[in-house]
Chains A and B, each alone.
Chain A
Amino acid sequence: DGGITQSPKYLFRKEGQNVTLSCEQNLNHDAMYWYRQDPGQGLRLIYYSQIVNDFQKGDIAEGYSVSREKKESFPLTVTSAQKNPTAFYLCASSRGGEAKNIQYFGAGTRLSVL
């Protein structure tokens, strides 16, 4: 069950707290993505990175931050500015280029607010 590893599986956030979700891949993929999944809304793109040290905002980037210091790692920080963080978060990766849309997904992290 390798490929993309997300941790932790469950995470709880207190008011005013920043929390970081981990995403690691051993597929040697150039591109990585973070999605938020809410009931009835499908997947919405938060951030994506096509190459190390570069990333772009997706549709719902406000209240989130990312870094891409290593090819295999793309952590997502949910900041205190994100007022409604309770959701299921999915990380994905792809080879990039013409294969960018064949994405491989992690098992997800469920974030809840205490």
Chain B
Amino acid sequence: AQRVTQPEKLLSVFKGAPVELKCNYSYSGSPELFWYVQYSRQRLQLLLRHISRESIKGFTADLNKGETSFHLKKPFAQEEDSAMYYCALSSLGSARQLTFGSGTQLTVLP
């Protein structure tokens, strides 16, 4: 069975500080990993996916198959980054849909 673990329910950092939201997964096949974000009073939306290898809003995430992790990082947090972040996993080539983690609420303090 596939599982996604986000160990931190709440995370607070100061503006300008680096931020890392942790995500670990368990899956024996070839996973596809995502980060979804929900800003206050907005809908849940895709932030980035590992196969795109792109930086969105200054965030990056690297898939580490050895450590089965997909941590989300940003070198300098901004107040507008405050949101709920969900890590999600899907198996490549399968009809199986996304499995979400329990989410991390990030608060960036002024």
Assembled-state Cα–Cα distance A41/B46 (Å): 19
Given contacts A101-B32, A101-B34, A105-B44, contact A42 B49 (CB under 8 A): no
Assembled-state Cα–Cα distance A108/B84 (Å): 15
Pick the most buried of B44, B95, B97: most chain A CB atoms within 10 A of its CB: B97
Assembled-state Cα–Cα distance A26/B6 (Å): 33
Given contacts A42-B86, A101-B34, A101-B90, contact A106 B43 (CB under 8 A): yes
The majority secondary structure among interface residues of chain A is strand
State the total of A-B contacts with C-beta under 8 angstroms: 45
B102 contacts partner chain A, Cβ-Cβ < 8 Å:
yes
Interface size on B, as a range, is: 20 to 34
Further contacts, 11 of them, CB under 8 A, given A101-B34, A102-B49, A108-B43: A33-B97, A40-B102, A41-B102, A42-B4, A42-B6, A42-B101, A48-B97, A50-B95, A101-B49, A105-B43, A107-B43
A residues contacting B by CB (< 8 A) are 33, 35, 40-45, 48, 50, 56, 58, 90, 92, 100-108
